C-alpha cells in the first residue's frame, strides 16, 4: 500500500444480545474480547489496522463516550480523532460525517469503514491493499464473508461476476437484507453469495457525492452538522439540530443498494464474526477437550460444549451441556446456547422496567478514575471513587439530600468557601444538596473516597453532621453531574 488509508471506526450501538457484559453506558465494543485484561473489541479493531499503510483513525461515537474512546486509545499509545454524535442516526450519517472530515483534511482521502465490535482472524489487510486501486478509481468496495451456515441476522450479497480489470473484485448482483432461515439456506445452497461484513473501502469524495445524489436531505443535514460542530478537548461534537435532520438509516440502504459504483471483494482466507450473541463468542473461542470455553474463576464438572465466564468470583457449573453462564457483579445470565439470540428480549424488559442493570455496570471508568457502586436503594447510593494521580473532578450535591465524602486512602485537596483544604485519610466532608465540591488528587498514588448520597431532602440529619455541613458548605452553584 503506497497510500495512507483512513480507518473510520464506528462505535455506536449497545450490543444488547451480549448483556450482561454489554450495557448502555459500557457497550460491547468497549468490553474485553476474551475476559478481564484482554484488548477490547474496539482496541482489537484499531490494532488490526495499525501500520504505515494506515493514517490515524477517525472514530465516530456517542458524544458521551468520547472520554472512554480517548482512554482506550491512550492505552494503545495511539492518536486518533473523535467525532461525537449528539444523537444516534445509524451508520449512514456517521460514515458521511467521517467522510466529510477526512476529505477536508485530504481531498483524495480513501476511507476504510470498520465496525468496532467484530472478531477477525487472517490477513485482511492484504485483501484491502489489493482493492485500493479500485477504490481510488471510484468504486465502493464492500467486503463479503463466505457463509458457513444460514444465519438470519446478517445481510447477504450475491455475486454478479468478476471484473476483468481488478483482480479479486466482483460485481454485485443484489443485496438481501436478513432473510428467513429457509431463504438463507437456499441462498447458500445456490452458491455465489456472501455475508455482508459491514467493512467497506472507498474514496471519501465518492461517498459524499453519492449521498448528495441519492439522499440530498441527509447530505445537507450532515454537512451542516459538521460545519456547526463544537470543538472540544476530546474532539468535535456534531451540531445536534442539523444532525437530527439526517435519515436514521444504515449506509447500505442509503447508498450501497442504490449506487452503480458498488463492488464486492470476497474475504477468502479470513475468519470473521460480528460476535452478535453469546453463541458466537463460544464459536470463535478456543475450546477445551470437553468443548467448553471457560473465562475467569470457573469450575466445570460433567459439563460440555458450554461457555462459562466469571468476572469476580468462583462460578461452579455441574452437569450442564450447550449452556451459557455469564456472571457479573450485579447480574447473572443463564441460557441454552440455542436461545442466545433471545437475550435481547430480556434487555427490552429491563429497559421497560428502567432497571439500572441494563444501563451500567457497578464499576464505571471515568476520565479521572473510576466509580464502584456498593449499594443502592430508594433512599441512598454508596460508592467508592478512585481518583488517578494528579486528576481532578467535581463532586456535586444530589439536589435532593446531603452527601458524605470520606477519604479512605491517599491525599488530596478541595476548595471550600474559596479556601484550599487538605484531604487526608479518615476525614469526612458533607456536601449539601445544592452545592458542589471540586477536588484534586495531590499524592503519587490513587486517592480513594467513600461517597454516600442521600436521595431525599426529608431525611433527618444528626446534629453533628448538620454542623459539619454548615462548616463545609462550598457556596458553589450546582453544576452538571460528573459522576
Can you tell me the distance from the alpha carbon of 385 to that of 205, in angstroms, rounded to the nearest whole number? 46
Query: What confidence tens digit (pLDDT) does each residue in 228-247 have?
Result: 999 987 789 999 999 999 99
Q: Does the pLDDT of residue 67 top 70, yes or no? A: yes
**Per-domain residue ranges of the chain:** 5-273, 286-344, 362-471
Write the CB contacts of 365 (distance below 8 Å, at least 6 apart in sequence).
26, 68, 71
Among the residue ranges 142-151, 189-198, 372-381, the one predicted with the least confidence is 372-381
pLDDT of residue 398: 66
Place of cell 476529505: 103
pLDDT at 466: 34
Query: Residue written as cell 477519604?
Result: 407
Which CATH number does 362-471 carry? 2.60.120.10
Structure letter (DSSP) for residue 40 = B
Q: Which of the four pLDDT bands, split at 50, 70 and 90, describes residue 146?
A: very high
Secondary structure class of 281 (helix, strand, coil):
helix
Helices (H), 106-190: 124-136, 181-190
| Cis preceding-peptide flag for 4 (omega within 30 of 0) | no
Residue 362 — left, alpha, or beta (φ > 0 → left; ψ -120 to 50 → alpha)? alpha
**Residue 272 predicted with pLDDT over 70:** yes
3 confidence band (pLDDT: 50, 70, 90):
low
The Cα 306–Cα 315 span in angstroms is 13
pLDDT score, position 479:
32
Query: What is 5-273's CATH topology?
Result: Spore Coat Polysaccharide Biosynthesis Protein SpsA; Chain A (3.90.550)
Q: Minimal CA–CA distance to 87: which of 115, 70, 63?
A: 63
Amino acid at each position: 500500500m503506497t497510500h495512507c488509508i483512513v480507518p473510520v471506526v464506528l462505535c455506536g450501538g449497545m450490543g444488547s444480545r451480549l448483556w450482561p457484559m454489554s450495557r448502555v453506558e459500557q457497550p460491547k465494543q468497549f468490553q474485553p474480547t476474551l475476559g478481564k485484561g484482554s484488548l477490547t473489541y474496539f482496541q482489537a479493531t484499531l490494532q488490526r489496522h495499525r501500520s504505515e499503510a494506515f493514517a490515524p483513525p477517525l472514530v465516530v461515537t456517542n458524544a458521551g463516550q468520547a472520554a472512554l474512546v480517548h482512554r482506550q486509545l491512550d492505552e494503545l499509545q495511539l492518536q486518533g480523532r473523535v467525532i461525537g454524535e449528539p444523537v444516534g442516526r445509524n451508520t449512514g450519517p456517521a460514515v458521511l460525517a467521517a467522510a466529510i472530515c477526512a476529505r477536508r483534511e485530504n481531498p483524495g482521502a480513501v476511507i476504510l469503514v470498520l465496525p468496532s465490535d467484530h472478531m477477525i482472524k487472517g490477513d485482511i489487510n492484504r485483501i484491502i491493499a489489493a482493492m485500493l486501486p479500485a477504490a481510488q478509481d471510484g468504486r465502493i468496495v464492500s467486503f463479503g464473508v463466505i457463509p458457513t451456515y444460514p444465519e438470519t441476522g446478517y445481510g447477504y450479497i450475491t455475486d454478479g461476476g468478476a471484473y476483468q480489470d481488478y483482480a479479486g473484485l466482483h460485481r454485485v448482483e443484489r443485496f438481501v437484507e436478513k432473510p428467513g432461515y429457509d431463504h438463507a439456506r437456499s441462498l447458500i445452497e445456490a452458491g455465489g453469495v456472501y455475508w455482508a461484513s459491514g467493512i467497506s473501502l472507498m474514496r471519501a469524495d465518492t461517498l459524499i457525492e453519492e449521498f448528495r445524489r441519492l439522499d440530498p436531505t441527509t447530505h445537507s443535514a450532515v454537512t451542516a452538522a459538521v460545519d456547526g460542530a463544537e470543538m472540544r478537548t476530546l474532539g468535535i461534537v456534531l451540531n445536534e439540530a442539523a444532525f437530527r435532520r439526517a435519515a436514521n438509516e444504515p449506509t447500505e440502504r442509503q447508498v450501497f443498494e442504490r449506487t452503480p459504483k458498488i463492488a464486492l471483494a470476497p474475504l477468502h482466507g479470513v475468519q470473521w464474526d460480528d460476535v452478535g450473541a453469546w453463541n458466537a463468542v463460544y464459536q470463535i473461542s478456543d475450546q477445551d477437550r470437553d468443548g467448553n470455553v471457560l473465562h475467569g474463576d470457573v469450575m466445570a464438572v460433567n459439563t460440555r460444549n458450554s461457555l462459562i465466564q466469571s468476572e469476580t468470583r468462583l462460578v461452579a457449573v455441574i452437569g450442564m451441556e450447550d449452556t451459557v453462564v455469564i456472571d457479573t457483579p450485579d447480574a447473572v445470565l443463564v441460557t441454552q446456547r440455542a436461545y442466545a439470540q433471545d437475550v435481547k428480549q430480556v434487555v427490552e424488559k429491563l429497559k421497560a422496567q428502567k432497571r439500572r442493570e441494563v444501563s451500567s455496570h457497578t464499576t464505571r471508568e471515568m476520565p479521572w478514575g473510576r466509580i464502584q457502586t456498593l449499594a443502592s436503594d430508594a433512599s441512598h447510593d454508596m460508592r467508592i471513587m478512585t481518583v488517578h494521580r494528579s486528576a481532578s473532578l467535581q463532586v456535586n450535591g444530589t439536589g435532593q439530600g446531603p452527601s458524605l465524602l470520606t477519604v479512605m486512602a491517599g491525599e488530596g485537596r478541595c476548595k471550600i468557601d474559596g479556601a484550599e483544604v487538605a484531604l487526608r485519610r479518615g476525614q469526612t466532608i458533607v456536601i449539601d444538596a445544592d452545592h458542589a465540591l471540586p477536588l484534586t488528587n495531590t499524592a503519587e498514588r490513587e486517592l480513594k473516597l467513600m461517597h454516600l448520597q442521600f436521595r431525599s431532602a426529608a431525611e433527618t440529619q444528626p446534629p453533628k453532621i448538620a454542623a459539619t455541613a454548615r462548616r463545609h458548605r462550598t457556596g458553589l452553584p450546582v453544576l452538571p453531574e460528573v459522576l
